[in-house]
Amino acid sequence: MPHSLFISDLHLCASHPASMAQFRQFVASAPGAEALYILGDLFDFWAGDDDLVDEFHAQVVAELRNLAHLGVKIFLLHGNRDLLMGDALAKACQATLLPDPVLIDLYGVPTLLSHGDLLCTDDIAYMVHRAQVHDPDFQKQFLSRPLAERKAYIAELRRRSIAEQKTKESAIMDVNDAAVASLLQVHGYPRLIHGHTHRPDRHLHLVDGHPCERYVLGDWYQQGSALRCDHEGVSWQAFSTRDSSL
Summarize pLDDT for 69-121 with one digit per residue, the tens. Answer: 999 999 999 999 999 999 999 999 999 999 999 999 999 999 999 999 999 99
* Res. 246 pLDDT band, cuts 50 70 90: very low
Percent of the chain with pLDDT over 90: 87
The residue type at 48: G
Domains and CATH numbers, the chain: 3-239 (3.60.21.10)
The pLDDT score that the predictor gives to residue 170 is: 78
Alpha-carbon gap, residue 132 to 154, rounded angstroms: 14
| Residue 245 pLDDT > 60 | no
pLDDT band of 52, cuts 50, 70, 90: very high
State the Cα–Cα distance between residues 133 and 50, nearest whole angstrom. 18
Q: What is the dihedral of CA 52, 56, 62, 67, to 10 degrees?
A: -120
168 has a pLDDT exceeding 90:
no
What integer pLDDT is reported at residue 241 of this predicted model?
52
Closest alpha carbon to 214 in 176, 240, 165: 176
- Which pLDDT belongs to residue 240? 66
In this structure, are residues 237 and 246 in contact, taking their beta carbons and an 8 Å threshold? yes
Torsion-angle region of 166 (φ positive above 0: left; ψ -120 to 50: alpha; else: beta) = alpha
Q: Which amino acid is at 204?
A: L
State mean pLDDT over 150-155. 94
Chain mean pLDDT for the chain: 94
SS3 assignment, position 41: coil
Looking at residue 160, its pLDDT comes to 86
State pTM to two decimals. 0.94
Average pLDDT in the 207-235 region?
95
